[in-house]
Amino acid sequence: MSSVTWTAQLDLLIRSRTPLIWIRSSEESRVETLMLQATKRLQRRLAQWDFIEGLTGVLNADGLGARQPMAVLQWLQQLEESSPTVLLVKDFHRFCDDPGIARMLRNLSTHLRSTPHTLVLCSGSWSPPADLEEAITLLDLPLPEAEDLRQLLNSIAAGSGAPLEPSVLEELTQACSGLSELRVRQVAARALARRGCLGADDLIEVLDEKRQTIARSEVLEFCDSENGTEAIGGLDALKAWLEQRHRAFSEDARRFGLPLPRGVLLVGPQGTGKSLTAKAIAGSWSMPLLRLDVGRLFAGLVGASEARTRETIQRAEAMAPCVLWIDEIDKGFGGDGRSDGGTSQRVLASVLTWMAEKSSPVFVVATANGIERLPPELLRKGRFDEIFLLDLPSGEERRSILDLHLGRRRPGLSLPLDTVVSRSDGFSGAELEQTVIEAMHLAFAERRELMETDLIRAASQLIPLSRTASEQLNMLKQWASEGRARPASIATRNEP
């Protein structure tokens, strides 16, 4: 929801005499500012209450109800209609388990409908008691949009006496996307304390703040993604497809009528480069990479999983443009929904609905080792832009992968690879990397340079997954051959 739409929704709720509104946000200062603006527009009085200070903003009643939540509710109930008032209460959810407070709120939900007064609760995560759910109207406060951030940064810079250049302002605005107003102010305060002004040098500081913000979310992880798709051996068909989708994020693509790309599902055995591809996409597209730990979505409290899912989606959209990596999605959503009371099915439904309807530049990269546990609705056309099968590498791809790892670890060394390529049929990319590492151990133990014989010897000692899990791999290939997934590689495997 955009800030303009949110403001209009808040005004509508107040004008229509919605008695109890819960603004779900931890940004109290921002909520106060928005409520002050709303009451000015609607010609109402704004009163505020918290447990320590009591009531504020009302003549002859300042301090009323300090440490007495029931008293402030009674004050609102007895307030005359001649003074239309919006009462903003903070942390009030902590008292709602009290039977008397809960009863009083339900009474107010009826009484306030015939008065011009509104009660607004401001708090972060909360699961209202069942008997209050129908009485409370929820309004999620989105993170600041680009225009909000632009105005905030502009005002801070102007206040410091050093206005920002337009290009620097745009860079900082985009970098701050996904941060709360409080976090942006903290970054700006540190910059002003260090140099006395805002500037392009603060981009690194903003990135660190984002890392900390994501780390506090418990569900998302901010991943490094320095290398692009050039760090991947093979997978030429997938690389070409990704290059097309990258261009679809441009303004030219919007003018052409193309929608924003949704995402891609990468299916394949372990070690075929699915995780590496997710990181390479973010690296080559110069977008932040957010890794979603699906297991952490499923918290113990009733309703907490759904709340975490909403928070995760909101955070990802605020970070846009970005890449959202859902690792091993088959393990997160592949269980029996009956065993958890349907929580996993509700969370999956929320994610799928968002993927189908999202209008933000969040590119979803989901990875799965197998398809037998994936729910059918996840594989339906339209959920992802495409599904790719990452098969075991062909001979030419194995050569490319070996070259990459040798060049990374022993730059300048050139070795014949024909023999080791022919003897590594069925090896995954991860197993080829392990072959190079093992060969280097053999050479280092004898205090000499790496040789071709070391690679051949290391390959002969490794038993690939393709031999120990051949049935699973064959089933995956059969599934993909039925037209359900595109091959990620252009080359065709010719080895027996």
Identify the CA nearest to 395 among candidates 434, 427, 433, 437. 427
Residue at 22: amino acid letter: W
Cβ neighbours of residue 135 closer than 8 Å, sequence gap 6 or more: 19, 20, 105, 106, 109
Residue positions counted in the chain:
496
- Residue 154's pLDDT is what? 93
pLDDT recorded at residue 496 = 40
Task: Give the chain's domains with CATH numbers.
Answer: 3-140 (3.40.50.300), 146-216 (1.10.8), 229-389 (3.40.50.300), 395-462 (1.10.8.60)
Amino acid, single-letter form, for residue 7: T
* Half-sphere CA count of 213, side-chain side, radius 13 A: 26
**Three-state secondary structure readout of the chain:** CCHHHHHHHHHHHHHCCCCEEEEECCCHHHHHHHHHHHHHHCCCEEEEEECCCEEECCCCCCCCCCCCHHHHHHHHHCCCCCCCEEEEEECHHHHCCCHHHHHHHHHHHHHHHHCCCEEEEEECCCCCCHHHHCCCEEEECCCCCHHHHHHHHHHHHHHCCCCCCHHHHHHHHHHCCCCCHHHHHHHHHHHHHHHCCCCHHHHHHHHHHHHHHHHHCCCEEEECCCCCHHHCCCCHHHHHHHHHHHHCCCHHHHHHCCCCCCEEEEECCCCCCHHHHHHHHHHHHCCCEEEECHHHHCCCCCCHHHHHHHHHHHHHHHHCCEEEEECCHHHHHCCCHHHHCCHHHHHHHHHHHHHHHCCCCEEEEEEECCCCCCCHHHHCCCCCCEEEECCCCCHHHHHHHHHHHHHHHCCCCCCCCHHHHHCCCCCCHHHHHHHHHHHHHHHHHCCCCCCHHHHHHHHHHCCCHHHHCHHHHHHHHHHHHHHHCEECCCCCCCCC
The pLDDT value recorded for residue 482 is 84
Q: From residue 412, how far is each of 179, 266, 356, 442, 449 by CA, in Å?
A: 44, 33, 48, 19, 12
Model confidence, pTM: 0.74
Cα distances (Å, whole numbers) of residue 30 to 35, 39, 182: 9, 14, 8
Q: What pLDDT does residue 339 have?
A: 61
Regions of the chain with pLDDT less than 50: 492-496
The token pair that represents 259 in the structure block: 């929608």
**Which residue type sits at 298?**
F
3-state secondary structure 64-87: CCCCCHHHHHHHHHCCCCCCCEEE
pLDDT digits (tens, 9 = 90+) for 361-376: 899 999 998 888 888 8
* pLDDT at site 495: 47
The pLDDT value given to residue 493: 46
The Cα 148–Cα 223 span in angstroms is 27
Average pLDDT for the chain: 89
